Amino acid sequence: MITKFNIIQATVSKLFISWANFLSCILGSQRLWPTREQVKREMPRVFREKFPNVRVVIDCTEIYVQTPWSLLRNSEMFSNYKKNTTFKCLIGITPAGAVSFVSTLYCGNISDKHITRMSGLLDLLEEGDDVMADKGFVIDDLLTPKGCGLIIPHFLSSYEQFTEEQNIDNQAIANARVHVERAIRRVKEFHFFDSPLPLNVAGSINQIWSICCLLTNFQGPLIKDRG
């Protein structure tokens, strides 16, 4: 098949993969995880006033992938959340909005808790750090032994209502946590992920995904308020 630039599609694919591997080596050699001092220095007011110990805000995202022929592989990659076969990744950002952690892509049926345990994020945290996340990250038992805290919205039981203080907390967490969703949206604006990924790029998808995540840090800050 000939592209509009009169280049064979196979050649385009080889060039793309080669550059993806090259950029992955170059960008991957740079330190992504900032020190606690760097995080605090760049911390915006919305965090400094209410969540001063947050080191990272985390969330998971999924990208669609071609359905494999193997029933076993299909069951491993099938996401109950997306109702499709996917790869799943854990992404972390600093309170200022810069991507500071990108996990390996895992099969779509992995839970938020298991991907947190497997990703290597816990090894980067220090005693006294807080992690902000959504309700799905019930990871207190992973963080407590490290002396770290978890900030997630309050849970509502079936027989009670949120107190006024809980409502205020939930709103503050939502306002702060939304920036990790914006960071993920930036990654997916690289339209390579618009369609289900063919399985023949699975060998390079981690490099391609990590490059797209890292490149978002060159697009300017997500949160401009440093006051």
Integer Cα distance of 205 and 194 in angstroms: 14
Residue recorded with tokens 């390079």: 204
State the average pLDDT over residues 53-66. 94
Alpha-carbon torsion (117, 123, 125, 127), positive or negative: positive
Above 70 in pLDDT, residue 4? no
pLDDT at position 205 is 83
9 vs 123, more confident:
123
Instruction: List, as one string, the DSSP characters of 25-84.
Output: HHHHTS--S--HHHHHHT--HHHHTT-TTEEEEEEEEEEEBPPPS-HHHHHHHEETTTTE
Q: What is the mean pLDDT of the chain?
A: 85
State the average pLDDT over residues 114-133. 96
- Which of 3-17, 163-177, 203-217 is the most confident on average? 163-177
Residue recorded with tokens 């390579």: 192
State the average pLDDT over residues 108-136. 94
Above 90 in pLDDT, residue 75? no
* Structure token pair of residue 130: 């807080």
State the average pLDDT over residues 96-122. 93
Above 60 in pLDDT, residue 227? no
pLDDT band of residue 69 (cuts 50, 70, 90) is confident
pLDDT band of residue 136 (cuts 50, 70, 90) is confident
Above 70 in pLDDT, residue 221? no
207 vs 115, more confident:
115
pLDDT at position 46 is 84
